[in-house]
Amino acid sequence: MEKGSYFYSRCLQLVFVFLQTATYVICKPCPPCGTTPVPFPFSTDSTCGDPSYKIRCSATNSTLFFDTINNSYPITSISPTFQRLTIKPPFIGNNSCISPDLSSGGVWLNPALPFNVTSSNTIMLLNCTANILVSPLNCSSNSLCHLIHQSSCQNLPICCTFVAGGSSTSHSIHISTQYCSAYRSYVNLNPAQPVYTWQNNSGLELQWASPREPLCTTQADCEDSTKMNCETSSDSVVKRCFCISPLMWNPISGTCEQSMFLILLI
Ligand SMILES: *[C@@H]1O[C@H](CO)[C@@H](O)[C@H](O)[C@H]1NC(C)=O
Ligand SMILES: *[C@@H]1O[C@H](CO)[C@@H](O)[C@H](O)[C@H]1NC(C)=O
Ligand SMILES: *[C@@H]1O[C@H](CO)[C@@H](O)[C@H](O)[C@H]1NC(C)=O
Ligand SMILES: *[C@@H]1O[C@H](CO)[C@@H](O)[C@H](O)[C@H]1NC(C)=O
Ligand SMILES: *[C@@H]1O[C@H](CO)[C@@H](O)[C@H](O)[C@H]1NC(C)=O
Ligand SMILES: *[C@@H]1O[C@H](CO)[C@@H](O)[C@H](O)[C@H]1NC(C)=O
Ligand SMILES: *[C@@H]1O[C@H](CO)[C@@H](O)[C@H](O)[C@H]1NC(C)=O
């Protein structure tokens, strides 16, 4: 009986802590884009999310778009827990082996923004010239790129395969008429699987750095002054809304929360 009521009250306490935690929202998440959720830290307009994580919403077809330096790609999935999203590069047409984004050089991420290309991507550069052969990429005759089913790119002599995410490919998938005019990208490709299933892994996966606490100029900018103080951070001159101890910044939810350690102590 005694034991039961102890657990009962402990449970209530935990529920209470979690309820409190849930109310400490400071960076307002954005409303859904049509029917597609927009998780924190993404920002579809200036009133919500973190402005460094700006994406665009096309509400009529519930599609989110990720803008690169000279282009825009539909977002096909977002995983806040793993801080990764997948974009869809445009399809290569059946008539010529040229990626529609050739004119803008392929995918170029703005290096000033907190996104990079993950090492889960297997990239195949297609319709290449002999200029590419000086690169360290695998352009041999048994390179995986020779296997893909893409009618306009089949039977072309030079193509190359590489796994992205190295320092030289962390912010771009570079194509050009001088080197390679088309590309395909696959996330978590298992080359042992039959080639006709590869299409299922089509996409380009990006990763984002954890968002920092929101910027502020005065205390009034911090959504909840009982949970946050507008202070200059030790590593820079900008001011941010820092969580008041013992609350801690949670970059996944964008909230000030009790640390797990404290929850366990109660
Ligand atoms: C959705 O709408 C945008 C503009 O409103 C358009 O560019 C895009 O092609 C549409 N469809 C898809 C599947 O993205
Ligand atoms: C391209 O060709 C494939 C088969 O070769 C076909 O299934 C597909 O419908 C074609 N796509 C277009 C847009 O014509
Ligand atoms: C390969 O790329 C070159 C340069 O962009 C283009 O002129 C040629 O038509 C492409 N080849 C095919 C088969 O599409
Ligand atoms: C992006 O666009 C700018 C201006 O239009 C151009 O100068 C630049 O070369 C383009 N970059 C790429 C990678 O195409
Ligand atoms: C290129 O890739 C193929 C297929 O994965 C592999 O068998 C071959 O050893 C690779 N060649 C080089 C030079 O890495
Ligand atoms: C692609 O994935 C879907 C769902 O994950 C699966 O049902 C389907 O069989 C897969 N298609 C191929 C060709 O592997
Ligand atoms: C990509 O971004 C993640 C998260 O910020 C970082 O840990 C990783 O080192 C970056 N990778 C490269 C190759 O820059």
Annotate 112-135 with b (16+ C-beta within 10 A) or e (fewer).
ebbbbbbebbbbbbbbbeeebeee
Q: Is the pLDDT of residue 247 over 70?
A: yes
Confidence of residue 15 (pLDDT cuts 50, 70, 90): very low
pLDDT in tens, 148-195: 988 899 889 999 999 998 778 899 999 999 999 999 999 999 999 999
First to last CA, the chain: 20
> Which contiguous run of DSSP H or E holds residue 232?
strand 228-232
Q: Is the pLDDT of residue 4 over 60?
A: no
Is residue 165 lining ligand 7, measured as CB closer than 6 Å? yes
Structural tokens at position 22: 């849930």
pLDDT in tens, 41-61: 999 998 888 889 999 999 999
Q: Taking a C-beta distance cutoff of 8 angstroms, is the pair 126, 180 a contact?
A: yes
* Helix spans in the chain (H): 2-23, 260-265
Structural tokens at position 134: 């000086």
Annotate 204-234 with b (16+ C-beta within 10 A) or e (fewer).
bbbbbeebbbbebeeeeebbbeebbbbeeee
Q: Which of 132, 133, 137, 142 to mutate to test the pocket of ligand 5 (most atoms within 8 A of CB)?
A: 142
* Single pTM value for the model: 0.84
Q: Which of 104, 171, 172, 183 to mutate to test the pocket of ligand 4 (most atoms within 8 A of CB)?
A: 104
* Alpha carbon distance 49, 135 (integer Å): 40
Confidence of residue 252 (pLDDT cuts 50, 70, 90): confident
